[in-house]
A and B are shown apart, each in its own frame.
Chain A
Amino acid sequence: MSRYQVYLIDDDEAVREALAFLLGTYGISVETFGDPQTFLAHVDEAKPGVLVVDLRMPEVSGLQLYQRLAERGIDWPTVMITGHGDVAACRRAFKAGIQDFLTKPVDGEVLVEALQQGFSSLDSRLEKREARALLAKLTEREREVLDMVARGWASKEIAASLEVSARTIDAHRAKIAEKLGTSSVAEQVRLALLSGA
């Protein structure tokens, strides 16, 4: 089973069923929706996944759906599938930050590959989001100290630079370890870099 859910939004029932069936054989769990509105009504931020969206749908197009999700802070990787390779539509989609753009009929391998990349992308996005959330807990002083730690400075050097005692610095570092949930300097540095990216 895949780490993430795949949300398939297409107005054609046969296409929905067939793609879900195919992805099922890859062990990818697929949830299907007949139109964007239904998906928008059901979408749960707590259940991140990769979207497979038909570009051309009545009322709300695939691109519009992507933009509405972005407005709600949902930036899950999206693979756009379309009946015809309209270059203009393709460019617009990539500008908007779409993960991939595939034309129907979609080859299973290609789709699965695009989904795998989507999963990785989703992984890193989630990590970054997590890192930012952790770093957001630090005070300004703690953030300053963490930056110096990330540069490889020892506590004494940091204390000298900030014109405080080394003990004060140690207290900050203990607070940082507590807030980030790890005493590993390497892990702390990774989080700092992730959030800064």
Chain B
Amino acid sequence: MTSPLSTSRLLGLALWLAALLAFALYSVETSKARLAGELEVTGRTLHRLISQRAAQHDAHMTSLIALTSGAEPAPLGAVRQVMESIVRFYPRIAWIALVSLGEAGGGAGPATGGAGAASGSGAESGAGGMGAASAGAADAGSAAEAGVAGTASGASGAAAGAGGVRMLVEVPEGGGEDLVPLRGAISEQLRGKIGVHASGKNGRYLLAKRAQAPSDAALVFGIDAALLLEPEERPAWAHLRLTLDGQTLLDLPGDDVLGAGASFVQPPHFEKVIDGEGQRILLSLDRALPLDALLPLRSLLGFAVLAGLASFALMFALRQRAAAQQSQQVARQAEARALLQERETLLAHASRVNAMGELASGIAHELTQPLTAVLSRSQAALRLAGAEKPDLGMITQALDVNVREAKRAGEMLKRMRDYASNKAPEPKPSALNGIVSEIVALTAADLERRGVKLELDLAVEAPEAVVDPIEMEQVLHNLIRNAADALEAAGILDARISIATKIVGEDVKIEVADNGPGIAPDVLPKLFVPFFTTKADGMGLGLSLCQTLVERVDGRIEAGNAAVGGARFVITLPRAKSRNAEAMSGRQDG
């Protein structure tokens, strides 16, 4: 009862856990893919945005360069105006400068170096420098070379190159960068190409573009990397970095990325070089994968509840099915029992009919006696009546005896009818002595013929039990017949069968014993087994049937050998305590 249910409970739990695990794995996988995909998309979007803006810078630089080169001398006022408007509209372009890289004198490096050192405030005389720049443009190449040599030559060289960069226009004023270290690098740039350079300021990088030859001017943009992206464009969940040659320009770790990512998954990574600006700026995006992102607690809990419910439902269904099967089984068993009982009743009837055949000769003899007497006496009476002087006294006497004999025959027929009838068993309080007497009446003739004496020892208290009298008669008949067969087979001279009824406590007992050879020890345990028989022509059903019939009325039947020898069968039945007289008369009238 408990085992199938606990099994189903365990099964339900296992199913639940398995479903949960599968869901977790699936959830992690899909979350990872989703988050990585998200990162990729965001990365590409950001990259496009930044690249577009880089292209804008390019365009601005180109137009400014064009403006500076358009006239001679350069319309610096107009340039400044444009610069100012650019800076105003594009906050990320933090600083714009137009510088002259050339040295008009074209003097030796160390000389210019000295001049550069002195020109700490040289910017103030920009206009003059401009002219000089134009003049010395032809020499710019060598001068640049000298500058580079100066830069390369060490710390003193750097100081010496300062003089090689002359500020022409600067917006905003004083937001400047120290371009001296970059002079060589910028000078090396191809004209028309934009170079990307590190800035001395944090989070800023420089874009430089040289004017067309023969000008030695260069335009420099200082770009604030942090403003390359609008705040709302930055993904809060990702770690965004912009680097220039490995140097960090921008590092935004993201706000709500708390704690470390789950260690068991490779966090997604995105990186791409920003197009259009010398391809040296690298955009990288990283996303930590915290467990709760991979495995959202709420959906996990939701799933757990759902899976739990499903498991419970499954378990419930299984249990229902088991219960249904069980009740079906119970129904089938009950049906089988009913069928069995029906069959047993039929078998009992068949067995009785069969026994009737065996009894027939005895009963026929028993029945023909009263018939013979009646016929003879009737014929005698007829003769008397036909005489000249009929003796009425004799005739009356003869008829009286006839009536008595006819009744005797009728009783015998009634016994036969009852015994052979196929009535459903009807257990009722019955007097055992009456039952014994009935079966004795039926079997007496047969036993007499076979030379077996019947001894009765019936209890004076008239024991009663709730039994079907016909079935109990059949049980006794079987036992008596078996005993008679055994006695006959053994050739016992003084063959006797004794039947006793007695009351023992709450039980009543019927004992059937004989003075035959008894039951062999190896036969004893198999005695009540169906189809077990020691008789050549036996079916082996008699005692099995007896047992069934006795147990049907809560009794038991035991076989053994009496101490004085011979077989002894004891039927024990629960004693019924009802009014004897009623049961007795009921048996006889019915």
Contact = CB atoms under 8 A, between A and B. Distances in A.
A156 interface: no
Contacts, number: 81
B383 interface: yes
B292 interface: no
A22 B379 contact: yes
A17 B372 CA distance: 11
A106 B451 contact: no
Interface residues of A, number: 24
Given A25-B383, A83-B368, A84-B365, A18 B451 contact: no
A59 interface: yes
B380 A22 contact: yes
A73 B370 CA distance: 34
A118 to B, nearest CB: 17
B380 A105 contact: no
A181 interface: no
B338 interface: no
Given A21-B398, A58-B448, A84 B377 contact: no
A34 interface: no
B372 A18 contact: yes
Interface core residue of A59, A83, A84, A103 (most chain B CB under 10 Å): A83
B374 interface: yes
A18 B449 contact: no
Contact of B368 (A25, A59, A84, A108): A84
Of B375, B379, B449, the most chain A CB neighbours within 10 A belong to: B379
A18 B361 CA distance: 22
B167 to A, nearest CB: 156
Nearest to B402: A18
Contacts of B275: none
A130 interface: no
A59 to B, nearest CB: 7
Interface string A8-38: 0000101101110110111000000000000
A59 B449 CA distance: 8
Contacts of A24: 380
Contact of B364 (A19, A83, A106): A83
Contacts of B380: 18, 21-22, 24-25, 108
A15 B383 CA distance: 18
Contact of A106 (B370, B372, B398, B401): B372
A107 interface: yes
Interface in A85-127: 103-109
B371 interface: yes
B374 to A, nearest CB: 7
Contacts of B377: 18, 21-22
A174 to B, nearest CB: 54
Contacts of B449: 56, 58
A15 B373 contact: yes
A106 B373 contact: no
Contacts of B408: 14
Contacts of A58: 448-449, 451
Interface string B377-417: 10110011000000000000010010001001000000000
B373 A14 contact: yes
B326 interface: no
A7 B316 CA distance: 92
B329 interface: no
A104 B364 CA distance: 10
A59 B367 CA distance: 20
**Nearest 5 pairs of A and B residues by beta carbon:** A83-B365, A108-B379, A18-B373, A22-B380, A18-B376
Given A18-B380, A56-B449, A105-B371, 8 more contacts: A14-B373, A15-B373, A19-B372, A58-B451, A83-B369, A84-B368, A104-B369, A105-B372
10 contacts: A15-B376, A18-B376, A18-B380, A19-B373, A21-B398, A25-B384, A83-B364, A84-B365, A105-B374, A108-B375
